Structure 1
């Protein structure tokens, strides 16, 4: 029995990945961090607004006449909402499902099938966020449905997972070669692993765990295929000198662990 709810995905390589869903605690922690950052941004905008408020009111009266004050207030609320929603859309799209708060809380938004979120999903989640926060509707939905979704997640087709926990059976032992450490150092010196997602890492780990039961031919073919996919993700044209695809995947595994800990 699991204390936390989990979700399973099947990758195109027919590897089953299991992730732990982000609970109400970690999501609240992430939201508090994001709201502190948003408060600083809004405070800065408010300071600028006060500085130029007289000019705005004068310009508004020339255009809207007696209704100028109402229009200025409406524009101010529109700007605040745009900043509020735009913050989440910007970061979750740019950082593949993470805001600064989510990154510190080690959680990430993904689609229901495990793929990274895009602009459409992040926009829907951001626009529905105010409805989720009215009377704590979002919190109630998260606590009382198995996939821990708020309203924005239901509409956008997303879930929130923990990035630091990839479930693997305790019986599965991972053995690395002696050259894996040197491969790891070369990879860290020459490549940027930030484009890699937790499910990319999980596929590599699954291969490293199960490779000993594969035939030599199947193992070599799958190692080459996975290596080519990783090269495409991190935009690496050629492998470091003297590193085979199998050792490269070991180095990626170690390097990803080190960069995740930082």
Structure 2
């Protein structure tokens, strides 16, 4: 025997919403972890550079000066930008050093990084990691709470511990009575700050007083309504409305991620 779910009832624990199975209460990676990851990555690039220089020393003499200079420039560009960019893009925000210490790069709203985020991080990294030998990255990361370097600030990303990211103790559930509505609804791009606040609220709502919970739910739902058309069915509880919208957004992120993984295979 099944029990009908009322659209006017608040959400229970089954409605915890995350993007790409990401728990929202993740902790930013600590400075020492990021530093260790950077040292490991730098060691890999230095070893690769030494190997490349040995090959250049061996085969360089057979090239004319213009060819040798071009090869040298391409090699430096590959080591400082090209290879780090490709690795982080293909692995979804990881590198050898990050994988070893257990951290990963995410967007500010908790979603997986995209090509644009990785490109900005890699491009700025040429200056802050290589041109200044990591000094600029260190100073900037010490100046903000999440330990974000300049590339993170410009790209809208930050590093988190992977064991926090990959934990998802709750099933992802779309309120069943809103399935048909959210399937056909037109949902415009939602600002990262708003979607993140809605997700955090849903994870913490059970610990709030009933009055504060209702007030916050109505306020956030009112903000989200501006990005959704048509409105949800009359009488829908604001928490269930938020859950439906965020599940739809999460599903779209899943599909985008799957398409990306298929494209790089």
Give the TM interval when normalised to the shorter protein. Answer: 0.5 to 0.7
Instruction: Give, in whole Å, the separation in 1 of the partners of 2:113 and 2:55.
Output: 33
Unmatched 5+ stretches in structure 2: 1-15, 173-202, 207-243, 259-265
**1:172-251 equivalence runs, <5 A:** 198-199=165-166, 201-202=167-168, 205-207=169-171
Aligned to 2:104: 108
Following superposition, the deviation at residue 12 of structure 1 comes to 6.0
The C-alpha deviation readout for 1:36-63, integer Å capped at 9, x for no partner, is 1112211221111112111212xx4xxx
Aligned counterparts, 1:69-84, within 5 A: 72-73=68-69, 75-84=71-80
2:47 aligned to which of 40, 48, 51 = 40
Match of 1:18 among 17, 25, 30: 25
Higher RCO, 1 vs 2 (CA within 8 Å, ≥6 residues apart): 2
Change (3 A) 1:16 1:76: closer
Structure 2 counterpart of 1:97: 93
Q: TM-score, normalised by structure 1?
A: 0.54
C-alpha separation in 1, matches of 2:37 and 2:19: 31
**Closer, same or farther: CA 10–149 of 1 in aligned 2, 3 Å:** farther
CA distance in 2, matches of 1:84, 1:17: 32
SS at match of 1:138: helix
Structure 1 CA distance, aligned partners of 2:121 and 2:19?
A: 27
String of CA shifts for 1:115-158, please: whole Å, max 9, x gaps: 11122211211111132232712111111212221111111111
Give SS of 2:144's match: coil
Question: Aligned pair in 2 of structure 1 residues 138, 36: CA closer, same or farther (>3 Å)?
Answer: same
Q: Indicate whether 1:125 and 2:154 are aligned.
A: no
Backbone CA RMSD of aligned residues: 3.5
* In structure 2, C-alpha distance between the alignment counterparts of 1:16 and 1:110, rounded to whole Å: 12
**Aligned counterparts of 2:74 and 2:104: Cα–Cα separation in 1:** 28
Q: Is the 1:141–1:149 contact (alpha carbons within 8 Å) kept by the matching residues of 2?
A: yes
Q: How many residues are matched? A: 164
| Greater per-residue strand proportion | 1
In structure 1, the partner of 2:160 is: 161
Shift of residue 78, structure 1, vs aligned partner: 3.7
CA contact (8 A) 2:24 2:110 kept: no
In structure 2, C-alpha distance between the alignment counterparts of 1:24 and 1:77, rounded to whole Å:
32
Structure 1 CA distance, aligned partners of 2:24 and 2:170?
9
Which contiguous aligned blocks of 4+ residues in structure 1 show a shift greater than 4 angstroms?
A: 232-235
TM-score (norm 2): 0.53
